[in-house]
């Protein structure tokens, strides 16, 4: 199978039109010989922070000397980014082999698997073929009924920060959503929860009691901040450290607490190479493109995948901590059916100006309408024809001491990263 054939097979179906349930995935994995059963997993669910948590964990496990697979979604530029071993994307040839094997298995199914099920099956096959010591597995949607949840009991089940998302599918309260995400917790595992609301924590406690699983909840009161700048962050946690975190932002610092607690849980299960030195090395080298990522200096150009009110709140808090009273130039575009006014109102106090685009979606808010709304709020805003034009206009507007921040979907963030690389 050639690369174009593999990509055509992967993208031939659409998860949005599929019904919930694990029947297809279980059948597909059975046809493939259940490669997931030969692997040891750290399974990561959550609304915000699960990707960052996953990449930090993978970086630490790699630094400790374990051959580590990492499965995340979505990708920024190439689908290969979703499957990594020791920090390297899956090669095209291996991607094609995995796609060919999954296609052969799927061709005999009366109910065709979805795109995400295909990708997940490819990941399991690839990581098993490469004999990974550990696989950090990010949930796609929810948890309980997510395609990744066909795995046996993981070493550690991780639930990151939870907010309202996909309410028509997961429920209309954070407690209902937490119940779906805590559906990854299985007997024989250890669970780690990002410390948050009492309601969410109670859901996790109840699930862990049902499954007879030990639960660790992160303790922000045991965090000792030492320093924070555009070069990274230094901190201690639970009396240990100091640790050096390359990723920027207060929310990444809090995600790192989850990561350290997961490492402690793994150590209690015999993963002895996860020393404090390995944790520090992994955190100091962890990279997560498109999440408060500083791409250029003079002017500073930061990109972030914030696309809901909770993410935008975290982004603005982080920018305020990094830049103080300095106002920034924002590059963004929004979908009409999102709570875009709430997101933008959160950004207004930090804004020097906006450059806005129309995202490539039928649900997009037109850039001229968005610019008019922002101008009416008293902040200068100019429309741009597309992402490339938006990047050019933002750079032209900025002086060398200014800071630009692009935020929106991860796909938009990928486009911005590409456009900036060509400027």
Tell me the per-residue pLDDT of 307-355, one tens digit each, with 9 for 90 and over: 888 889 989 999 999 999 999 999 999 988 888 999 999 999 999 999 9
Q: Percent of the chain beyond pLDDT 70? A: 97
pLDDT band at 16; cut points 50, 70, 90: very low
CB-based contacts of 273, cutoff 8 Å, min separation 6: 64, 65, 66
What the block records as the tokens of 183 is 């559906």
Looking at residue 15, what is its pLDDT? 46
What gap in Å lies between CA 365 and CA 351, rounded to an integer?
20
CB-based contacts of 360, cutoff 8 Å, min separation 6: none
Taking residues 152-166, what's their average pLDDT? Answer: 89
What gap in Å lies between CA 235 and CA 224, rounded to an integer?
6
What gap in Å lies between CA 374 and CA 367, rounded to an integer?
10
- 83-110 pLDDT, tens digit per residue, is 999 999 999 999 999 999 999 999 989 9
**What predicted TM-score, i.e. pTM, was given to this entire model?**
0.90
Taking residues 286-306, what's their average pLDDT? Answer: 93
What gap in Å lies between CA 90 and CA 80, rounded to an integer?
5
Quick check: bond before 225 cis, omega within 30?
A: no
Taking residues 174-201, what's their average pLDDT? Answer: 96
Decide: helix, strand or coil at residue 109. Answer: coil
């Amino acid at each position: 199978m050639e690369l174009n054939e593999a990509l055509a097979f992967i993208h031939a179906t659409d998860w949005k039109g599929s019904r919930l349930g694990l029947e297809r995935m279980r059948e597909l994995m059975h046809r493939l010989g259940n490669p997931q059963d030969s692997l040891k997993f750290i399974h990561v669910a959550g609304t915000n922070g699960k990707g960052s948590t996953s990449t930090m964990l993978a970086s630490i496990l790699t630094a400790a000397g374990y051959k580590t697979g990492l499965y995340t979604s979505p990708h920024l530029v190439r689908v290969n980014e979703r499957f990594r071993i020791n920090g390297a994307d899956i090669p095209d040839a291996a991607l094609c082999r995995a796609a060919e094997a999954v296609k052969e298995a799927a061709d005999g199914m009366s109910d065709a698997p979805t795109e995400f099920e295909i990708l997940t099956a490819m990941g399991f096959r690839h990581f098993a073929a490469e004999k990974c010591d550990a696989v950090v597995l990010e949930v796609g949607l929810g948890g309980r009924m997510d395609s990744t949840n066909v795995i046996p009991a993981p070493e550690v089940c991780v639930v990151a920060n939870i907010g309202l998302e996909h309410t028509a599918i997961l429920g209309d309260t954070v407690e209902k959503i937490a119940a779906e995400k805590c559906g990854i917790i299985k007997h024989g595992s250890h669970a780690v929860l990002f410390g948050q609301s009492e309601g969410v924590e109670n859901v996790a406690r109840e699930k862990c009691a049902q499954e007879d699983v030990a639960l660790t909840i992160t303790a922000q009161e045991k965090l000792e901040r030492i320093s924070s700048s555009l070069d990274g962050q230094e901190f201690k946690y639970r009396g240990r450290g100091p640790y050096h975190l390359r990723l920027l932002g207060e929310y990444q610092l809090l995600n790192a607490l989850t990561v350290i607690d997961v490492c402690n849980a793994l150590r209690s299960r015999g993963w002895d190479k996860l020393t404090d030195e390995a944790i520090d090395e992994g955190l100091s080298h962890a990279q997560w493109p498109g999440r408060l990522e500083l791409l250029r200096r003079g002017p500073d150009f930061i990109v972030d995948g914030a696309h809901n009110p909770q993410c935008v709140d975290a982004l603005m808090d982080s920018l305020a901590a990094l830049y103080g009273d300095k106002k920034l130039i924002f590059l963004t575009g929004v979908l009409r059916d999102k709570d875009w006014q709430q997101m933008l109102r959160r950004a207004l106090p930090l804004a020097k100006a906006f450059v806005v685009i129309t995202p490539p979606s039928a649900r997009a808010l037109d850039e001229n309408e968005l610019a008019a709304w922002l101008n009416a709020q008293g902040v200068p805003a100019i429309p741009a024809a597309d992402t490339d034009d938006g990047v050019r206009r933002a750079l032209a507007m900025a002086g060398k001491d200014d800071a630009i921040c692009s935020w929106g979907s991860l796909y938009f963030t990928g486009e911005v990263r590409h456009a900036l690389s060509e400027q």
